[in-house]
Structure 1
């Protein structure tokens, strides 16, 4: 009888251990399921936001192209000529300014031109 009683106690302890492990596993599963459920909406929201941003970016680019083409077509020839000359001048001076800004060359405009430019700005005349 004692051996049956001992065996019953051993089996009861083992049963408690199994039940506690089961409870722990169930809690872990619920936790993981909860995490997955919270991750899915946030991931879906991120994907939706990404698609929306791409759509907005395409719309902005299309609007920009449309505005540029409208501006180009309505500009007087004198303005187009001035714009072309301006960009040619900028491209001409880029290497000089680049070297100056990198500290590899002196100031790209001579001192006389610099003082003349300062006087023009200060006096508002040329």
Structure 2
């Protein structure tokens, strides 16, 4: 009977040791989990800060680019803008006529006299 009692005490102590180890391991796991959460939050905060910094840098670069562009290509005079506008309007007006000529579907777009002059000029250059 004494041996059963001694064995019971030994098993009880072993049980306490196992429960103690279990509690210690659970505490370590909680600490590690808490550290991971803290690290993840820190990384998230660092990513947000980096994003804001990068956005700010991008805006600064765009502003500098615009400033340099203004210096390199200053705004043209109103007369120049007017000439450009009229030029492109003229080009757009004549595109259909020239397109048909270049595709071989229509005669020279500026009249027969000009066509003969153009052919003569080409022939003179060839000689």
What interval of TM-score do these two structures reach, taking the shorter chain for normalisation? 0.5 to 0.7
Aligned-pair distance for 1:2?
0.8
- Where structure 1 has 5 or more consecutive residues not aligned to the other structure, the ranges are 75-126
Match of 2:39 in 1: 39
Match of 1:59 in 2: 59
Residues 33-90 of structure 1, C-alpha deviations (whole Å, 9 max, x = no match):
111111111100101111221121111111001011113344xxxxxxxxxxxxxxxx
User: Considering only CA atoms, is the larger Rg found in Structure 1 or Structure 2?
Assistant: 2
- Give the Cα separation in 2 of the matches to 1:41 and 1:16: 37
Q: What is the 5 A alignment of 1:1-126?
A: 1-74=1-74
Match of 1:122 in 2: none
Q: What RMSD, in angstroms, separates the aligned Cα atoms of the two structures?
A: 1.6
Which runs of structure 1 show a deviation greater than 4 angstroms over 4 or more consecutive aligned residues? Answer: none
Aligned-pair distance for 1:19?
0.8
Q: TM-score, normalised by structure 2?
A: 0.55
- Give the Cα separation in 2 of the matches to 1:34 and 1:41: 10
Residues 75-111 of structure 1, C-alpha deviations (whole Å, 9 max, x = no match):
xxxxxxxxxxxxxxxxxxxxxxxxxxxxxxxxxxxxx
- Give the Cα separation in 1 of the matches to 2:55 and 2:30: 38
